Amino acid sequence: MNLIQQECVNRGITRICHFTQSRNLAHIFDDTLGLCSKRTLRQLDMPHNPTDPDRYDGRDDLICCSIEYPNTYYFAKVREQDQLFKDWVVLMIEPSYLWHIETCFCPCNAARSRGAYIQTGISGFRSLYADTSPGIPFSRPQGHLPAAPTDIQAEVLLKDPIPLDSITGIAVRSEEQAQREMVRLELQGIAIDKPIYIAPDFFDRTALSRLIQRGVRATETLYENGGLNGG
């Protein structure tokens, strides 16, 4: 067990999160590659709807993710920008990618200073949990959730592809959205054998931030689909 893996265990880290518009689910789960970076999708001329078309961090070869919970501030921003398509999901990814040698870490939003704070290795990982962060004017609260980085906008950048087997679940805002997503996918002939969780706090910037700072985990309810939980 390497140092990053040991610290993940000690902090109770259970997953990596990646948010995307739900219309991308069909592309992701209908392709054997799995989850790919913006650069790869462009090179392969594959259909995609990039969350961040600008990528001021300069690393469009990597997939933007976060630890344990979505980057709730940026998540809220991109949802507000798209007035036409309102449904988003959060993909849950197994945490083992955190100790992959190619993984990069940033203690704040990776676009800050055009990627100047991006690091690799154990020092990069530990920068996410430092008492202070370049992106916030206050220190890490004493009761802060151990698994969550100090700055809610801290990012993890993963090398692609991420195989479908590494995606452990999908979080949606409501049961109604879960039902919509299932119908959409069924109409396209796509079956997803992943558990779906109803996690409204993931989609509430203020609520999720307060929970994390108080050391409380967000509520996640397994979606029961006609007696099946999808897992």
111-138 pLDDT, tens digit each: 888 889 999 999 999 999 999 999 788 8
- Position 227 in a domain: no
- Position 9 in a domain: yes
- Position 102 in a domain: yes
* CB-CB neighbours of 169 under 10 Å: 21
Query: In the structure, what pLDDT confidence band is assigned to residue 56 with cuts at 50, 70 and 90?
Result: low
- Position 136 in a domain: yes
Beta bridge partners of 17: 66, 92
pLDDT at site 227 = 35
- Position 229 in a domain: no
Is there a binding annotation on residue 158? no
Mean pLDDT of 9-33: 93
Residue 175 catalytic?
Answer: no
Residue 187 lies in domain: 3-222
Residue 39 catalytic?
Answer: no
- Position 163 in a domain: yes
pLDDT at site 230 = 40
**Residue in 15, 79, 112, 155 annotated catalytic:** 155
pLDDT at site 231 = 38
What secondary structure letter does DSSP report for 166?
G
- Inform me whether the pLDDT recorded for 139 exceeds 60: yes
Total of domains in the chain: 1
Is there a binding annotation on residue 138? no
Full DSSP string of 59-119: -TTEEEEEESS--HHHHHHHHHH-SS---EEEEEE-GGGGGSTT-EEESS-TTGGGGTT-E
Q: Which residue has the higher pLDDT, 181 or 83?
A: 181
Is there a binding annotation on residue 19? yes
- Position 182 in a domain: yes
Identify the weakest region by mean pLDDT among 45-49, 113-117, 186-190, 206-210.
45-49
pLDDT at site 48 = 63
Is there a binding annotation on residue 18? yes
- Position 230 in a domain: no
Mean pLDDT of 203-217: 97
